[in-house]
Amino acid sequence: MTDQAALAEEIEQLKAERNAVILAHNYQLPEIQDLADFRGDSLGLSQEAAATDADVIVFCGVHFMAQTAKLLSPKKTVLMPDTSAGCPMADMITPESLAGFREPYPEAPVVAYVNTTAEVKAGSDICCTSSNAVRVVESVDADTVLFVPDANLGEWVQEQVPDKQIILYPGHCHVHVTIRPEAVAQLKQEHPEAVVMAHPECVKEVRDSADVVASTGGMVRFARESEAREFIVGTERGLCYPLRRENPGKVFYEIEAALCPNMKKTTLPKVLHCLREMTGEITVPAEIAEPARRTVERMVALG
C-alpha cells in the first residue's frame, strides 16, 4: 500500500468514528479531492455545509469558506487542517474600511462576496458567490448597490445588470489577475479549436476573450455538457484535476501562473492530524455570527 493510500485509510476510519464529513474546494490538491465526500465551488460547499447531518465538518479550502460553514452549521464542529490557509482578497477589506466605503452611500445595500471575513459579512446586507452574484444583485431592492471586495467580479456583474449602479470596492484576487490576456491569446493561437473559460475574478480583457464566464462549479458543468474537445481553463490550475478526471476524452490547457498557494496548504497528514486531535476548530463570536449568518442565509434562501 502506498503512503497516500495508508493515510487515506486511516482518515476514513477516524471519519467514521467521529461522524465527520470532508468538504473540499475544487482548487484543492488531487489527493484531498479524492478523499472528500463533497467537492465543489463556494456556493455548493455552503449548501452542503448547511445540509449535512455529520457532527464534524473537516473543511479543506481557505479560512472564509470554513467560517461560512460554521455560520451555517453553528452546532457542528468545523475543523480546518491548516488554519493559516487564508484568502488575501478577503483580507483586503476590514469592518473599518467597509464603514468608510459605505459612508457616501448611507442608503445603499452592501453585497458581500463570500470571500470576506465574518466581521465584514456582519456589516453587509446579503452575500453572494461567483455563481449567483448576478441573481443576488438583481434581487436587491435598490438602484445603487455597493459591491465588496472583488472589483473584477463586481464589474462583470455590472455588465449583466446595467439597470443598477454598482459601486466597486477596489479589491482583487492576486491569482486571477496574474492570468494575462496575452497568455490566453497565446494558448488560443496554439489551440484554435479550444473553448476559453474564464472565472469572473479575471480582468475584463480576459473575460471579454472568453466563450464562457463562470464559477469553478459552472466550468465543471459547462465542460461536461459541451461538445467541444479542448478547453483553456482561465482560473486557478487546481480546477484542471476534476475537469480531467470527469472528462477523460477532453483536453484542458492550464494557465501556468495561476496558482493559489493557500489552496495547496491542506495535505493528507494535516487532515489526519486534525481529525485525530480535533485541532484547527473554527469558531465565530456570537455577536458577529448572528448578523453574519443572516447575510449568508439571505443568499442561501435565493436557492
**Cβ neighbours of 72 (radius 10 Å):** 22
Binding mask 17-46 for ligand 13P (x = CB under 6 A): ---------x--------------xx----
Q: Please report whether residue 45 would count as binding ligand SF4 according to CB under 6 A.
A: no
Residue-wise DSSP of 164-212:
SEEEEP-B--TTGGGS-HHHHHHHHHH-TTPEEEE-TTS-HHHHHT-SE
Span of 222-230, 257-265, 274-282, 293-301 interacting with ligand SF4 by CB under 6 A: 257-265
Closer CB to ligand SF4, 115 or 124, in the complex:
115
**Least distance (Å) between residue 122 CB and ligand 13P:** 20
Residue 11 near residue 275, CB atoms below 8 Å: yes
Q: Please report whether residue 181 would count as binding ligand SF4 according to CB under 6 A.
A: no
Span of 87-95, 132-140, 211-219, 220-228 interacting with ligand SF4 by CB under 6 A: 87-95
Closer CB to ligand SF4, 48 or 236, in the complex:
236
* End-to-end Cα spacing for the chain: 43
Burial of 102-123, coded b for 16+ CB within 10 Å and e otherwise, reads beeeeebbbbbbbbbbbbbbbb
Please identify which residue in 82, 119, 125, 201 interacts with ligand 13P, judged by CB under 6 A. Answer: 201
Q: Give the C-alpha separation, 148 to 112, whole Å.
A: 5
Residue 286 near residue 50, CB atoms below 8 Å: no
Q: Give the C-alpha separation, 205 to 129, whole Å.
A: 21
By a kind-dependent CB cut-off of 5 to 8 A, residue 262 interacts, out of ligand 13P, ligand SF4, none, with ligand SF4
Closer CB to ligand SF4, 173 or 274, in the complex:
173
**Least distance (Å) between residue 262 CB and ligand SF4:** 6
Closer CB to ligand SF4, 73 or 115, in the complex:
115
User: Given the rule CB under 6 A, which residues bind ligand SF4?
Assistant: 62, 87-89, 115, 173-176, 236, 260, 262-263
